Structure 1
Amino acid sequence: MEISPDFFKKIFPEFKDNEDKFIQIFLNINSKKLSKDFFGVEWELAVLNLSAHQLITSSKGTLNKEVISENIAGVQRTYKSINSSNECYSSTPYGLEYLRIKKENSYTRCFVT
C-alpha cells in the first residue's frame, strides 16, 4: 500500500502547507527503506514519523546541533558532535517517535520464539 501525501497531512496537519511532491519523495524513500518484517503493524507509523522528521530537518538545511562555543567578532562557531547514530533523530518529536517504534520492535524481535 502506498502512503499518500493526503493521508500524511491528515495524520500531521502541521504539514498542510508543504508541497505534496516533497512529502511523496520522503514517503517513497522510507517505504522502500524500512522493512515491513521488522516494523510489523507499526510499519506505516514508522514511515510517517521518519518522513515527518526528514521534512523538518531538510527544511532547516542542517540538524539541530548544540553550539558549544562561539566567537562573534571572528565568526567562529563550534558545534557538539553527534556521537550516536540515533542522536540526530532526537532533534524532532517525529524522530523521537520513530526511535521509540524502532526500539519497541527491536525488543519484540528479541523475545519472540
Structure 2
Amino acid sequence: MPTVTDFLQRYPQFEKLGESIIELFLSDAFAEMDKNRWGKLYERGGLALTAHLLTLNQWTAEDNGNPQRELTAESVGDLSVSYAQSSTVQSDEFYRTTAYGQEYLRLRKLVGVGFMVV
C-alpha cells in the first residue's frame, strides 16, 4: 500500500492535513479495492479514492456533519432552492461529487471493475 509520502506527491493540496488522518483514509480506501483486479492501476486508483474520501470528510466537517446533497434548482428572486432526493443505493453518483472521485471512476472503468458488494 502506498505511503502518506506517495499520496502527497500526487496530491500536495492535502499537505495541511495530519499524517495520521491521511494514513487512516489510505487504509479505508485500499480496503475497498482488490489489488489483483486493479493490477497496474491499483495505487493510482487507491490514491484517487483516498483524496475523494478526504475531501468528503473535509466538507462534512465544514458543514457540521450535514449531508451533502446535489442542488437541482436555484432561483434568486424570492429565493428558492431544490435538492435532489437522497438515495440509499450506492451508485457512481457518490464518486462524481469530487474531481478525485471522478478520476477513481475513470480508472475503475479502465480496469473493468464492476459493482462491489461488501
Please give the residue correspondences for 1:18-29 in structure 2 after superposition, counting only pairs within 5 Å: 18-29=17-28
- 1:99 counterpart SS class: helix
CA distance in structure 2 between the partners assigned to 1:9 and 1:106 by the alignment:
27
Relative to structure 2, which stretch is displaced further, 2-11 or 46-55?
2-11
Cα offset for 1:69? 6.1
Aligned to 1:50: 49
SS in 1 for 2:73: strand
Quick check: 2:26–2:46 contact (8 Å CA) kept in 1?
A: yes
Residue pair 1:63, 1:88 contacting (<8 A) in 2 also: no
TM norm structure 1: 0.78
Residue aligning to 1:80: 84
- In the alignment, is the contact (CA less than 8 A) between 1:46 and 1:98 conserved in 2? yes
TM-score normalised by the chain length of structure 2: 0.75
Show the counterpart of 2:99: 93
Q: As a proportion of its length, which structure holds more helix?
A: 1
Runs of 4+ in 1 over 4 A off after TM superposition: none
Q: How far apart are 1:67 and its partner, in Å?
A: 4.8
Unaligned runs of 5+ in 1: 71-75
Q: CA deviation at 1:32?
A: 2.1
Counterparts of 2:108 and 2:86, CA distance in 1: 19
Output one character per residue of 1:42-76: Cα deviation in whole Å (capped at 9) or x when no partner.
Answer: 00001000000010011111435215368xxxxx9
Query: What is the identity percentage for the equivalent residue pairs of Structure 1 and Structure 2?
Result: 25
Q: Which runs of 5+ in 2 are unaligned?
A: 61-66
Matched, 1:65 2:64: no
Equivalent pairs, count? 105
- C-alpha root-mean-square deviation of aligned residues, in Å? 2.7
Q: Is the 8 A contact 2:72 2:82 kept in 1?
A: yes
Aligned partners of 2:14 and 2:42: how far apart in 1?
20
